[in-house]
């Protein structure tokens, strides 16, 4: 059985790192090995892993995390504009600003719990979104979005090279951050982010967060001041979001307010629940699946469907295309909605619960041993090491 | 001789028009077991709620070992050394028994806040040992890896007691610790509470079961309609006609 001792975590991390770095290989058969999509997997993976530290462990459902994602993007683009096209400062700055914003919003929102907390975070995120379009236009460049220009100062870069023709590209000490190098940069950060999340899950701190989710009243009468615990969980997940946002800018140096919209906040909730909130790898799985299907399904259009269904009799073809057309292209959200409903109804623990059930069935058939929690679910469960 | 450790002074609390507590005075002595009895709705639980900071009294104060508890937050009161078992068990239903007991042990060691996100829980041997020890003490060790929510009502109560005892509190407040337990489990709990008495822990126990009360109590306070109507040793209270009238409707205890 999967053991949760520190030694096993080393193995877990090694497998995880190899799996992430080898994504271009094993995702090739399903047509998902092109850099743009791989980058998205890694970036939204980070976003979801961080969100899970808040929602999965403490049960506080934030509907405003896209605000931190957006803020991270703006911070990174400003770093590109003012300082250097090197991605390291941009990523650090984005993470930091994500954390600062989360501290401010968290401080106020955490005065309430349950639905009121969710509404407060949603309100703050929508406020940020609207401000980005209005009052804060000097910082966000409004609807056009924040972009690089030829006239940007780039203080550090300008010391070394004269501004060339056209816009410079983001780089890591000269290595351009587009295509596969861009993916590998994001992948390494995903591995680090996952490692930190793993350690939090395994720590006394992580157990205390789980206990807050389970019974906050008992926590208080047990001697814990739950507020700072919640605030830290909130800020850490905000920093993950800021990091993810800055990576979006690394792979494409442009930031727009639409990243902060409530639908974007909802997406990370979907990812986490779809994969399995409170499990370590579930949110990653959710992020991957949503981004994959978004790409596949939204690429289909009626014309493509007609081609595929050309073998059907004429009248029937038209009807089938009209029906399927609802679920692809722009309508892919309908597909997502149906998948999501099915998961929530039949597998409330997300896909990880499905994997666990299948694992349990196989085990029962194999040796008749009692099915235990498998590797995917890595709550800080007490087990003999 | 008379070293009071918990002092409730002139505590008054009303909910709307209902006077749940009327100028209650209570002195609890060090290392003693003090029972509070009284009919339903007498204000017993409310009195404990005032002690642990769940309810702010309208008037009066509670001091523990010279420290004022009134106005303090629940977690601060716990950190002073006051633990409480609730009338309806407050446990962590989704977590295992081991985790349920390790959490209060961590609270005792780490204080009300500590950011130890980079330690590994598996490596906290002192905490695990303490937790295992207390689960053994309460005969719950066989279920150490079960979810607490799946326990019977009586076992949940014992688990909550374990969660309090693992903290080695100076004062333990028990709100009907044996309600819902079988006679067998009740007797085991009585034995356990007698054992911790030998360790010098002060206890306040609310109980309807007179067998439990007379097995454990050094002193008894009788509350009725928010007022203390009698106080004394078990024998004094047993013989008090006013108590028999108010509490037992005239029947003999
Ligand atoms: N938070 C509250 N809000 C309003 N009324 C309350 C509250 N807590 C207690 N009361 C009322 O105060 C009175 C005393 O309640 P309390 O729970 O202290 O009684 P008790 O002695 O513990 O009774 P029991 O033996 O049934 O547990 C009751 O009438 C109760 O309804
Ligand atoms: Mg009561």
Reported ipTM: the value is 0.92
| pLDDT tens digits, one per residue of A76-105 | 999 999 999 999 999 999 999 999 999 999
Rounded Cα–Cα distance for residues A304 and A334 (Å): 19
Sort B85 into a burial class: Cβ within 10 Å, 0-12 / 13-18 / 19+.
Answer: buried
Q: Report the C-alpha gap between B102 and B132 in whole angstroms.
A: 9
- For chain A, the structural domain boundaries read 6-262
Residues of B in contact with A206 (CB under 8 A): 117, 121
Closest-approaching ligand to the CA atom of B16: 1
Residue B84: per-residue pLDDT? 94
Distance CA B186, CA B209 (A): 10
Q: Which of A270, A340, A382, A277 is nearest to A58 (CA)?
A: A277
Q: Does A199 touch chain B (CB under 8 A)?
A: yes
B248 or B8, which is more confident?
Answer: B8
In this complex, is the C-beta atom of B118 within 8 Å of any C-beta atom belonging to chain A? yes
> Which architecture, in CATH terms, is B1-81+171-179+202-253?
3-Layer(aba) Sandwich (3.40)
Q: Is the CB of B125 inside 8 Å of chain A's CB atoms? A: no
Residues of A in contact with B83 (CB under 8 A): 221
Structure tokens at B173: 């407040």
For CA atoms A246, A247, A253, A258, the dihedral sign is negative
How long is chain B?
253
Please give the Cα distance from B29 to B7 (Å, whole number). 9
Beta bridge partners of B173: B84, B204
**Is A217 near chain B, with CB under 8 Å?**
yes
Q: With the C-alpha atoms ordered B104, B162, B54, B108, is the resulting torsion angle positive or negative?
A: negative
Is A312 exposed, middle or buried, given 0-12, 13-18 or 19+ CB atoms closer than 10 A? middle
Contacts of A226 in chain B (CB under 8 A): 75
Q: What length does chain A have? A: 385
Which among B39, B46, B53, B225 is the best mutation to test ligand 1's pocket, defined by most ligand atoms within 8 Å of the CB? B46
Atom of ligand 1 nearest to the CA of B16: 4
Give the contacts of A366 (CB within 8 A, at least 6 positions apart).
none
- Residue B122's pLDDT band, with cuts at 50, 70 and 90, is confident
Q: Do A220 and B119 count as a contact with CB atoms less than 8 A apart? A: no
Residue B253 has pLDDT above 70, yes or no: no
Contact A223 B111 (CB under 8 A): yes
Distance, CA of A178 to chain centre: 20
Ligand number nearest to the C-alpha of B22 = 1
Rounded Cα distance, A43 and A73, in Å: 12
Distance CA(B22)–CA(A87), nearest Å, equals 68
Contact A171, A162 (CB under 8 A): no
- B120: which chain A residues are within 8 Å (Cβ-Cβ)? 6, 199, 202-203
Does B122 lie at the interface with A, CB-CB under 8 angstroms?
yes
A223–B167 C-beta distance less than 8 A: yes
Calculate mean pLDDT across residues B119-140. Answer: 92
CATH top class, domain B82-168? alpha beta
Structure tokens at A90: 């941009």
CB < 8 Å to A5, chain B: 122
Closest CA to B227 of B38, B99, B53: B38
CA–CA distance, A257 with A146 (Å, rounded to integer): 9
Using CA coordinates, name the residue in chain A closest to B99: A382
DSSP state of B232: E
Q: From the CB of B121, is ligand 1 less than 6 Å away? A: no
Residue A213 forms contact with B (CB below 8 Å): yes
* CA B251 to centroid of ligand 2, rounded, Å: 22
C-alpha distances (whole Å) from B235 to each of A192, B36, B217 are 68, 15, 11
Q: Is A300 on the interface with B (CB under 8 A)?
A: no
Q: Find the helix packing angle between A204-214 and A35-58, rounded to 10°.
A: 70
Q: What confidence tens digit (pLDDT) does each residue in A156-185 have? A: 888 877 666 678 888 899 889 889 999 999
Pocket of ligand 1 contains residue B165 by CB under 6 Å: no
Ligand closest to the CA atom of residue B47: 1
Identify the band that residue A5 occupies on the pLDDT scale cut at 50, 70 and 90: low
Q: Taking chain A, what is the end-to-end CA distance rounded to the nearest angstrom?
A: 12
- Give me ligand 2 centre to Cα A364, in Å: 47
- What is the predicted pLDDT for the residue at B248? 58
- The arrangement of strands across the sheet holding B67-68 comes to B18-29, B4-15, B59-64, B67-68
Ligand 1 atom closest to the Cα of residue B223 is: 21
Residue in the block written with tokens 């050309």: A310
B117 contacts A224? CB cut-off 8 A: no
pTM score: 0.91
* Residues of chain A neighbouring B121 (CB-CB closer than 8 A): 202-204, 206-207, 380, 382
B79 has a chain A CB within 8 A of its CB? yes
Tokens 């104060």 belong to B61
Chains A, B: CB pairs < 8 Å: 120
Task: For residues A302 and A284, give the distance between their C-alpha atoms in angstroms, rounded to a whole number.
Answer: 31
- Does the CB atom of residue B43 touch ligand 1 within 6 A? yes
The string over A351-372, giving b where at least 16 C-beta atoms fall within 10 Å of a residue's C-beta and e elsewhere, is: bbbebbeebbeebeeeeeeeee
Judged by CB atoms closer than 8 Å, whether chains meet at B74 and A199 is answered as no
- What kind of fold does domain A6-262 have according to CATH? ABC transporter involved in vitamin B12 uptake, BtuC (1.10.3470)
B87 C-alpha vs ligand 2 centroid, how far in Å?
A: 6
Q: Which ligand 1 atom sits closest to the C-alpha of B47?
A: 18
Domain with CATH 3.40.50.300 in chain B: 1-81+171-179+202-253, 82-168
Over the stretch B45-85, which tens digit does the pLDDT of each residue have? Answer: 999 999 999 999 999 999 999 999 999 999 999 999 999 99
Going by pLDDT thresholds of 50, 70 and 90, the confidence category of residue A274 is very high
Give the residue, A294 or A50, on which the prediction is more confident: A50
Q: Give percent of chain B with pLDDT exceeding 90.
A: 72
User: Residue A320: pLDDT band by 50, 70, 90 thresholds?
Assistant: confident
Interface contact A215-B124, CB threshold 8 A = no
pLDDT digits (tens, 9 = 90+) for B172-223: 999 999 888 889 889 988 988 888 877 789 999 999 888 899 999 999 999 9
Q: Which long-range contacts (CB under 8 A, 24 or more apart) does A114-122 make?
A: A117/A60, A117/A61, A117/A62, A118/A61, A118/A62, A118/A63, A119/A63, A121/A62, A121/A63, A121/A64, A121/A65, A121/A265, A122/A63, A122/A64, A122/A262, A122/A265
Is the Cβ of B99 closer than 8 Å to some Cβ of chain A?
A: yes
């Amino acid at each position: 059985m999967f053991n949760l001792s520190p030694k096993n975590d080393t193995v877990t991390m090694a497998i995880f790192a190899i799996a992430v770095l080898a994504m271009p290989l094993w995702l090739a058969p399903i047509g998902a090995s092109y850099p743009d999509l791989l980058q998205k997997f890694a970036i939204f993976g980070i976003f979801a892993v961080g969100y899970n530290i808040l929602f999965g462990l403490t049960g506080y459902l934030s509907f405003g995390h896209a605000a931190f994602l957006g803020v991270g993007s703006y911070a990174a683009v400003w770093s590109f504009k003012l300082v250097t096209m090197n991605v390291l400062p941009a990523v650090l700055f984005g993470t930091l600003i994500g954390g600062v914003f989360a501290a401010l919003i968290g401080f106020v929102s955490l005065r309430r719990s349950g639905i009121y907390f969710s509404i407060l975070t949603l309100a703050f995120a929508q406020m940020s979104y609207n401000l980005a379009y209005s009052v804060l236009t000097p910082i966000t460049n409004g609807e056009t979005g924040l972009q690089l220009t030829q006239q940007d100062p780039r203080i550090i870069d300008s010391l070394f090279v004269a501004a060339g023709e056209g816009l410079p590209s983001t780089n890591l000490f000269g290595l351009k951050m587009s295509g596969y190098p861009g993916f590998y940069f994001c992948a390494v950060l995903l591995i680090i982010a996952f490692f930190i999340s793993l350690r939090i899950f395994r720590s006394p701190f992580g157990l205390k967060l789980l206990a807050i989710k389970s019974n906050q009243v008992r926590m208080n009468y047990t001697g814990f001041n739950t507020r700072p615990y919640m605030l830290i969980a909130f800020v850490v997940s905000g920093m993950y979001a800021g990091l993810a946002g800055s990576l979006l800018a690394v792979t494409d140096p442009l930031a727009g307010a639409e990243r902060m919209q409530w639908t974007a906040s909802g997406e990370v909730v979907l990812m986490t629940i779809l994969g399995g909130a409170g499990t370590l790898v579930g949110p990653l799985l959710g992020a991957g699946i949503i981004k994959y299907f978004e790409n596949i399904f939204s690429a289909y259009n009626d014309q493509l469907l007609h081609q595929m269904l050309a073998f059907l009799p004429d009248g029937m073809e038209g009807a089938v295309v009209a029906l399927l057309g609802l679920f692809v292209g722009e309508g892919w959200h309908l597909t997502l909605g149906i998948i999501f409903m099915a998961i929530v109804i039949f597998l409330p623990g997300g896909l990880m619960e499905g994997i666990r059930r299948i694992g349990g069935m196989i085990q029962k058939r194999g040796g008749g041993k009692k099915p235990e929690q498998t590797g995917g679910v890595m709550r800080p469960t007490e087990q003999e090491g | 001789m008379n070293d009071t450790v918990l002092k409730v002074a002139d505590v008054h609390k009303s909910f709307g028009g209902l006077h749940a507590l009327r100028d209650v005075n209570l002195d609890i002595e060090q290392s003693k077991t003090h029972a509070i009895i009284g009919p339903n709705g007498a204000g017993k639980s409310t009195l404990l709620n005032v002690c642990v900071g769940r309810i702010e009294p309208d008037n009066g104060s509670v001091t523990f070992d010279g420290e004022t508890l009134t106005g303090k937050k629940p977690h601060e009161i716990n950190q002073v050394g006051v633990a409480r078992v609730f009338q309806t068990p407050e446990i962590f239903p989704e977590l295992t028994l081991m985790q349920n007991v390790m959490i209060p042990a961590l609270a005792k060691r780490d204080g009300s806040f500590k950011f130890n996100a980079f330690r590994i829980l598996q490596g906290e041997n002192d905490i695990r040992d303490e937790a295992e020890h207390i689960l053994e003490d309460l005969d719950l060790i066989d279920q150490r890896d079960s979810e607490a929510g799946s326990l019977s009502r009586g076992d949940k109560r014992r688990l909550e007691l374990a969660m309090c005892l693992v903290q080695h509190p100076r004062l333990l407040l028990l709100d009907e610790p044996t309600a819902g337990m079988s006679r067998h489990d009740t007797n085991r709990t009585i034995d356990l509470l007698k054992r911790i008495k030998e360790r010098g822990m002060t206890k306040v126990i609310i109980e309807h079961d007179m067998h439990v009360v007379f097995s454990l109590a050094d002193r008894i306070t009788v509350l009725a309609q928010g007022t203390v109507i009698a106080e004394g040793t078990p024998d004094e209270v047993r013989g008090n006609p006013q108590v028999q009238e108010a509490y037992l409707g005239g029947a003999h205890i």
